[in-house]
Amino acid sequence: MLNKKVADLLNDQINKELYSAYLYLDMSNYFERRGLNGFANWYMIQAQEERDHAMLFYRYMQNNDCPVTLDAIAKPDKVFKKDMDVLKAGLEHEEYVTASIHTIYDAANKVKDFRTMQFLDWFVKEQGEEETNARDMISKMELFGSDPRSLYMLNQELAARAYSAPSLVLD
């Protein structure tokens, strides 16, 4: 059985990951309405990834004989007026998730829960990649977003993104 504080934080993370999926689905919806299907695709894949992340936390809890409590998922409350608002909100959210995972890691470290720390190592690396991707999108939009032809090419680039499920093995 996991330490209670660590288990509570892991359980909270399941709900945060599910909210993340909901948030990215909302962002995808924004871009669909704008006619930017490549951007919509990119955020739809983000939503799929976040659902998978939630399930990894869920399975880890189950494998460690910890009860899981699923809370209500809050409605995303951001109102996007410009494309850049979405991209910046995405980066802000990834930084929030990174901080949350670091909090769990710190709690596991304090109680010498090395198995949970090892489990979280993948998420720490993943969050670094997520933040880099979000920053890269902002940079590309700043460089190309005001030119319609360049925006079209960026949209095409994002449309080519394909989903690939995480390959984390859980014990």
**pLDDT the model gives residue 44:** 98
CATH superfamily for 4-159 is Ferritin, core subunit, four-helix bundle (1.20.1260.10)
Contact status, residue 74 vs residue 15, Cβ threshold 8 Å = no
Helix axes 37-63, 83-110, angle to 10 degrees: 20
φ, ψ (nearest 5 deg) of residue 165: -65, 150
Q: What is the model's pLDDT at position 169?
A: 56
Task: List the alpha helices (DSSP H) in the chain.
Answer: 4-34, 37-63, 83-110, 114-144, 148-159
pTM: 0.93
Please state, as a whole number, how many other Cβ atoms lie within 10 Å of the Cβ of residue 21.
Answer: 19
Quick check: helix, strand or coil at residue 86?
helix
pLDDT in tens, the chain (171 residues): 799 999 999 999 999 999 999 999 999 999 999 999 999 999 999 999 999 999 999 999 999 999 999 999 999 998 999 999 999 999 999 999 999 999 999 999 999 999 999 999 999 999 999 999 999 999 999 998 889 999 999 999 999 999 888 766 555
